[in-house]
């Protein structure tokens, strides 16, 4: 039954192909607009990937060891952690920073526990909110502005 | 006006899809889609233990995995990965059987839904999924297919090409829309000289890694400007290339180069779509046999118009 249903004459198949492609565009774009740039209409997608160009001034959080472990920013410490772990470290720095800024004690405790599992004490470290130029930050880790949000001792 | 547009589009398709040598080539290429699908599925199956070990943290099944609510996570993953592999193998053996292609699509849909069930969507296999869906409609072939059947076969193959290229056009349009928004807000935008470097630096900062070419374009942002503009051209006008078969190989190569470049600069991985671009566009059965470099150049949107203008001026100047 299925072969007969879908073995369309050429002209009808051509119309169906154009309608199908049009539906894909319509659903993909509509989903993007209706969800305000968020979730897709699975399995359709708008393909709006990397559409927002990152700006010259960005903000985030970092953790700086001020006593112990060579006293440096964890972001610069790939000698300790290696490429494989840096992504986790960066995610934890931002998670801890957001928790401290938001005043969420449970999240702070959890993020600290996870972050400190990467450190070897005794260590004193500071959680900072930073603004930076991403190009400069990549090359030298230079920040434009840093505000210390908290200091912890391990 | 809409009727005129429809007529122009259908006439263009009729000029591409002839059901002659293009049919023979398309028929020869089709099984390779399923061979590759099987290879990929088998690789994923090899990671079954790891997938089970990783556990169900963050697993929120998409609707095609309706059965996941009634099974353990381990059983769901096993069914999904094994199902995708076995159905792909079946389609390798019977690529011209519609039932086998439907099953291969279902197997892939299960796998695709599984990878998209951990929070955000995973676009690595989006193209594979939709191409597998389109290929279901390849007509049943007899020993001596009629001209109508041969044309329909070629049409389905062209539709898969058009879908692939359409997604890049959608990505290009997205970049243009957001460029207008960011420009009007006085922000860096897709046409800014440092756009490519900003993307690379931001991505690499977030990942805490480096890449072979990332530091170079971050140090010299202008180096990435022209490639970024070419990428915008390639993406935005990709669907136009679908209607100009002399551009199929150029666009296939250009988009693969774009994926390679994003990997080498910002470690954005798009391996899956690259293979499909190679299979469907680099090997396109619709590329005219005798196409000059000049024809190719002149048919490229914008660049071709500029080239034609310059060429006309040069010819006039020589008279």
Each residue of A36-77: pLDDT tens digit? 766 678 899 989 999 999 999 999 999 988 887 665 677 666
Q: Determine the Cα–Cα distance for residues B67 and A130; give it in Å rounded to an integer.
A: 46
**Structural domains counted in chain A:** 2
Each residue of B234-281: pLDDT tens digit? 999 999 999 999 999 999 999 999 999 999 999 998 999 999 999 999
The percentage of chain A sitting over the pLDDT mark of 90, rounded to a whole number, equals 54
Does B130 sit within 8 Å of A138, measured CB to CB? no
Each residue of B116-160: pLDDT tens digit? 998 777 788 999 999 999 999 999 998 899 999 999 999 999 999
- List chain A residues with CB under 8 Å of B192: 53
Each residue of B160-218: pLDDT tens digit? 999 999 999 999 999 999 999 999 999 999 999 999 999 999 999 988 889 999 999 99
Each residue of B40-54: pLDDT tens digit? 999 999 999 999 998
For A58, which residue in chain B has the nearest alpha carbon? Answer: B202
Report whether pLDDT(A5) > 80. no
Each residue of A17-34: pLDDT tens digit? 999 999 999 999 998 888
pLDDT at B54: 85
Residues A43, A119, single domain; the answer is no
Most confident of B5-9, B77-81, B288-292: B77-81
- pTM, to two decimals: 0.92
Residues A29, A78, single domain; the answer is no
pLDDT at A8: 86
A126 forms bridges with which residues in the sheet? A64, A151
Which of B170, B183, B184, B267 to probe by mutation at the A interface, max A CB count within 10 Å?
Answer: B170
Residues A38, A102, single domain; the answer is no
For A50, which residue in chain B has the nearest alpha carbon? Answer: B175
Three-class DSSP labels, chain B:
CHHHHHHHHHHHHHHHCCCCHHHHHHHHHHHHHHHHHHHHHHHHHHCHHHHHHHCCCCCCCCHHHHHHHHCCHHHHHHHHHHHHHHHHHHHHHCCCCHHHHHHHHHHHHHHHHHHCCCCCCCHHHHHHHHHHHHHCCCCCCCCCCCHHHHHHHHHHHHHHHHHHHHHHHHHHHHHHHHHHHHHHCCCCCCCCCCHHHHHHHHHHHHHCCCCCCHHHHHHCHHHHHHHHHHHHHHHHCHHHHHCCHHHHHHHHHHHHHHHHHHHHHHCCCCHHHHHHHHHHHHCCCCCCCCCCHHHHHHCCCCHHHHHHHHHHHHHHHHC
Residues A72, A131, single domain; the answer is yes
The percentage of chain A sitting over the pLDDT mark of 70, rounded to a whole number, equals 85
Out of A28, A52, A76, a domain closes at A52
- Contact yes or no for A61/A115 (Cβ under 8 A): no
pLDDT at B83: 97
pLDDT at A65: 87
Residues A26, A65, single domain; the answer is no
Residues A22, A86, single domain; the answer is no
Residues A38, A100, single domain; the answer is no
What is chain B's alpha carbon radius of gyration, rounded to the nearest angstrom? 22
- List chain B residues with CB under 8 Å of A75: 208
Does A75 sit within 8 Å of B208, measured CB to CB? yes
Out of A15, A35, A52, a domain closes at A52
Q: Is A64 on the interface with B (CB under 8 A)?
A: no
Residues A48, A68, single domain; the answer is no
Give me the domain span that covers residue A18: 1-52
For residue B148, give the nearest of A10, A40, A49 by CB distance.
A10
Q: Is A5 on the interface with B (CB under 8 A)?
A: no
Report whether pLDDT(A1) > 50. no
Does A51 sit within 8 Å of B178, measured CB to CB? yes
């Amino acid at each position: 039954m299925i072969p007969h249903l879908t073995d369309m004459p050429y002209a009808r198949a051509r119309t169906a192909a154009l309608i199908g492609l049009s539906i894909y565009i319509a659903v993909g774009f509509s989903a993007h607009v209706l969800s305000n740039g968020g979730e897709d209409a699975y399995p359709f997608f708008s393909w709006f990937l990397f559409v927002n160009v990152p700006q010259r001034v960005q903000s985030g959080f970092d953790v700086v060891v001020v006593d112990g472990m060579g006293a440096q920013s964890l972001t610069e410490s790939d000698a300790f952690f290696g490429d494989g772990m840096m992504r986790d470290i960066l995610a934890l720095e931002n998670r801890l920073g957001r928790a401290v800024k938001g005043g969420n004690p449970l999240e702070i405790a959890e993020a600290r526990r996870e972050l400190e599992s990467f450190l070897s004490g005794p260590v004193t470290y500071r959680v900072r909110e930073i603004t930076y130029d991403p190009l400069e930050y990549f090359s030298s880790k230079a920040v434009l502005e840093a505000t210390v949000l908290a200091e912890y001792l391990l | 006006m809409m009727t005129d547009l429809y007529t122009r589009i259908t006439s263009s398709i009729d000029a591409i899809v002839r059901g002659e040598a293009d049919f023979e080539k398309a028929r020869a290429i089709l099984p390779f889609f399923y061979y590759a699908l099987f290879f990929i599925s088998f690789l994923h199956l090899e990671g079954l233990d790891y997938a089970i070990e990783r556990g169900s943290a963050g697993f929120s099944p998409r609707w095609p995995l309706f059965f996941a609510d009634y099974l353990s996570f381990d059983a769901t993953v096993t069914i999904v990965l094994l199902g995708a592999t076995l159905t792909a193998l079946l389609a390798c053996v019977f690529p011209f059987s519609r039932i086998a292609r439907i099953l291969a699509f279902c197997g892939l849909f299960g796998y695709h839904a599984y990878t998209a069930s951990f929070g955000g969507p995973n676009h690595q296999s989006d193209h594979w999924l939709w191409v597998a869906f389109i290929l279901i409609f390849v007509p049943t072939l007899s020993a001596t297919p009629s001209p109508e059947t041969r044309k329909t076969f070629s049409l389905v193959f062209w539709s898969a090409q058009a879908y692939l290229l359409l997604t890049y056009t959608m990505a290009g349009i997205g970049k243009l829309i957001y460029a207008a928004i960011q420009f009007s807000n006085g922000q860096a935008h897709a046409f800014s000289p440092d756009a490519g470097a900003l993307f690379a630096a931001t991505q690499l900062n977030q990942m805490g890694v480096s890449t072979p070419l990332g530091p170079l374009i971050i140090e010299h942002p202008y180096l990435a400007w022209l490639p970024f503009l070419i990428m915008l051209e390639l993406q935005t006008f990709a669907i136009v290339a679908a209607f100009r078969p002399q551009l199929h190989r150029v666009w296939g190569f250009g988009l693969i180069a774009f994926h390679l470049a994003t990997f080498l600069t910002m470690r954005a991985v798009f391996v899956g779509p690259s293979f499909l671009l190679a299979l469907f566009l680099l090997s396109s059965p619709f590329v005219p046999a005798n196409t000059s470099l000049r024809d190719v150049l002149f048919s490229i949107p914008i660049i071709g118009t500029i080239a034609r203008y310059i060429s006309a001026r040069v010819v006039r100047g020589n008279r």
